Amino acid sequence: MPIIEIPKDLVPEDSFLNRIPKAPTGRYAHLVVVRETESFPIFQTDGTLNIAKVSAGLQSNNSLIRLAMFKRKQSSPERLTGRELLRRVNITQNEDSNGDDYCDYNEQFCTTCPDCVYYGFAIGDSGSEKSKVYVDTSYSITGYDESHQQFSFNALYEKGNMSQHGGVRSSFGEQDHIVPQVFFASVITIKDVTVNSFAYVLNNVLRTKRYGAQTTRTGRLSNHIVGAVFADGEIFSNLKFTQAIHDGLGDVKNETPLNRAKVVQTAQTVTSQLLQNDDVNYRLLDGESLQQLLGIVKSATTDEEKLHHFLQEANAETQEYSERVIQKASNKKKK
């Protein structure tokens, strides 16, 4: 008996595959998420916050400069959360072991563990595996102006009473930070989904609470799952999702920080509206059915023993796939 079982009346019958297929088979699970900052994270490249100029809403001609959270800024911390757990239960090993099960993000991919198989990897010429987890740039619901704050970090270097010399402040450097309670709308897609890959990715999303640069300057972020969509194709983009929420909330410029309950409620409402125009067959779980689904996964992932078993089951699944597909392909190459 698998540790995590999803009742047949909760999701459509063939939502989950029994094993990871070699070729795509049109089974998609989408996690519809609203990410909320809880401190002062920085999502940047080259020292400036990532931004994008886009239309404010779907029904508006006004443009708006939004904060952008690039793909890797979302997926890397979530992958590292899962990897930490795999090491904790000895599925992958730490640097002291030299076996084949040593796996280190972007350093050495073992090609068999749940992280390598579900999220994919590329090791130069010696092989690669496409990610089955799709994440795209997500955008802040509110504009850049009301969603960031500039701090000078002269205080860090202050040896005396520099605060009396306000004029020299800029020479000490300034840094834009995203402020707390800024909301990013994000869809996470799991392709060719199995119960294990779904639960593995969901667990990572629920547990990851720090985003931003990997070592320093991370900030707290909390993920609110507003829906789970099982479909035979891709659904709406993060940008559309953001713009629809913006329309649903009305004029948000003077309402920061946004009310969390209102944002989540609006995100839920627009999810079911947007899905109707996505030209796919789908089942949306929200409200009570979503809570039931989340409850089933959480009851396994928040119990130490069950979590251990679950990760082993996921690992058995990815190992089997790796042998059947990844290693076969790399053997062929060698010949």
CB of 114 to Zn ion, least distance (A): 8
**Residue with Cβ nearer Zn ion (113 or 202):** 113
CB of 303 to Zn ion, least distance (A): 24
| Other beta carbons less than 10 A from residue 267's beta carbon | 25
Two tokens at 181? 């309670």
CB of 267 to Zn ion, least distance (A): 33
Residues 6+ apart with CB under 8 A from 276: none
**Residue with Cβ nearer Zn ion (111 or 242):** 111
CB of 113 to Zn ion, least distance (A): 3
If phi > 0 it is left, if psi is from -120 to 50 it is alpha, else beta; for residue 291 that is alpha
CB of 194 to Zn ion, least distance (A): 17
Rounded Cα distance between 181 and 39, Å, is 8
For 42-147, list the strands marked E by DSSP. Answer: 44-45, 48-49, 51-55, 63-69, 121-122, 128-129, 133-135, 138-143
Rounded Cα distance between 94 and 97, Å, is 6
Two tokens at 177? 């930070």
CB of 202 to Zn ion, least distance (A): 19
**Residue with Cβ nearer Zn ion (111 or 223):** 111
**Residue with Cβ nearer Zn ion (108 or 272):** 108
The residues that bridge with 45 in the sheet, in sequence order, are 48
N- to C-terminal Cα distance for the chain?
40
**Residue with Cβ nearer Zn ion (110 or 135):** 110
CB of 103 to Zn ion, least distance (A): 3
**Residue with Cβ nearer Zn ion (116 or 314):** 116
**Residue with Cβ nearer Zn ion (14 or 84):** 84
The per-residue b/e assignment along 23-50, b for 16 or more CB within 10 angstroms, e otherwise, is eeeebbbbbbbbbbbeebbbbbeeeebb
Give the residues lining the site for Zn ion (CB under 5 A).
103, 110, 113, 116
* Rg (the chain; Cα; Å): 22
